[in-house]
Amino acid sequence: MSEPLLPPIGMLAELTHRCPLQCPYCSNPLELLKANRELDTQTWLDLFSQATDLGVLQVHLSGGEPTLRRDLEQLIAGLSARGVYTNLITAGIGIAEGRIEAFADAGLDHLQLSFQGARPATTDRIGNHRGSHEKKLETARRARAAGLPLTINAPIHRHNIEEVPEFIDMAVSLGAERLEIANVQYAGWALANRNALMPERAAIDRQADIVAAARERLTGIMNIDFVPPDYFAIYPKPCMGGWARDAFMVTPDGTVLPCHAAQTIPSLRFERFAERSLADIWTDSPAFNAFRGTEWMQEPCRSCERREIDWGGCRCQAMAIAGDAAATDPVCIKSPIHARMALLIDETRRAAADISADEAFIYRRIGAVTELA
């Protein structure tokens, strides 16, 4: 490695793959884990204790839908007792009366609420769940009433990109401190739905202008984070801040990963918590060390002035598009196959033209991959 190994400061804990929604842009793997594969309460608490000892300062509790875990209050309390900052990432559907207040009482620091659309019809259709929009609005109100800071997360794709101004207005009206305009990245279910999801370039350009203007207008009122779409970029983003550089994630069955889609790289074997300690996995796992730092890099990455800015970009994207996880991320303009991105965008645009007005999504569902109109 080109730099000393530092302790991780962040962790994404996917407590479950169960979810009341079936979003076609979901980044979870196509093979979702059932409840009987999930770690039990004590194992999660042991894992969190080891993560804290390792240096982790913040844990994002996610899924699936983490509020489906009946022990969520206990998990939050365990992290809070160790002084760890906790962020609950939720779809905001089906949360029982009084439970958000219980999360706050247990020590939850922040709630991040996803909206599939700024309009009720969009939210309900994308999540394949009727009445979900109003339930999300109620969750936002309850979170603010409980004194929890609120982030609204807006995953952006073809079917809601024109609603970006409405997302901004909605987030302000709900008293959110932060809005994340996050263009969908094509992994997991989103990759399977790429033809139905990818926006037109003109819409992406309009979106960027709208976000820039809103950031200026709302300075001091609400922060807006903007995650642009990789396929239309000229330089890649650092994956998770760099492969196994300062953060990691854990799947519902305890598999420890450097990033969300790492298991799509077939040459790597990822270890489960309890089979080894978290410290051993972070320090010595061959999979974690595979793309750390810069020594693994091929040209042009190895001699590039950006090598310690983007840390080679996304290894999973390189695997999916270049067929080689060690290749330069194809979205980078310096990649020898960067032109392939334009071809993929054009192929997707032409494929989208053949999809009917009632585009078929492959909805996210445990136990089945179901194509619904």
User: Are 19 and 96 members of one domain?
Assistant: yes
Question: Residue 3: which pLDDT band, with cuts at 50, 70 and 90?
Answer: low
Judge whether 332 is annotated as a binding position: no
In order of 37, 71, 216, 252, 363, the CA distances from 41 in angstroms are 13, 7, 44, 11, 29
pLDDT band for position 94 (cuts 50, 70, 90): very high
- Asked if residue 213 and residue 66 are part of one domain, the reply reads yes
306 and 191 both lie in a single domain: no
Does residue 254 sit in the same domain as residue 272? yes
Does residue 177 carry a pLDDT above 90?
yes
One domain for residues 46 and 171: yes
Answer yes or no: is 19 a known binding residue.
Answer: yes
Q: What is the full DSSP assignment across 23-83? A: -TT--S-SSPPPGGGS--HHHHHHHHHHHHHHT--EEEEESS-GGG-TTHHHHHHHHHHTT
Residue 368 included in any domain: no
Domain check: are 225 and 256 in the same one?
Answer: no
130 and 166 inside one domain: yes
Q: 96-113 as b/e, with b when 16 or more CB fall inside 10 Å? A: eeeebeebbebbbbbbbb
Token pair recorded at residue 151:
């982030």
149 and 203, same structural domain?
A: yes
The CATH number linked to 219 is 3.20.20.70
Q: What is the pLDDT of residue 159?
A: 94
**For 140-173, how does the pLDDT look when each residue is reduced to its tens digit (9 = 90+)?**
999 999 999 999 999 999 999 999 999 999 999 9
7-27, pLDDT tens digit by residue? 999 999 999 999 999 999 998
164 within a domain of the structure (yes/no): yes
Check the annotation: does 301 bind a ligand.
no
Q: For residue 273, which of 66, 38, 86 has the smallest C-alpha distance?
A: 38
Point out the domain boundary residue: 204, 232, 260.
232
Tell me how far apart the alpha carbons of residues 4 and 97 are, in angstroms, rounded to a whole number: 48
Q: Does some domain include residue 227?
A: yes
Q: Of the candidates 232, 247, 272, which is a domain's last residue?
A: 232
pLDDT score for 351: 87
Please state the rounded mean pLDDT for residues 165-191: 96
Domain that holds residue 243: 239-335
Whether residue 194 sits in one domain with residue 289: no
- The domain total for the chain is 2
Residue 372 lies in a domain: no
Give the separation between CA 359 and CA 362, rounded to whole angstroms: 10
Are both 150 and 299 inside the same structural domain? no
Whether the CB-CB separation of 300 and 279 falls below 8 Å is answered with no
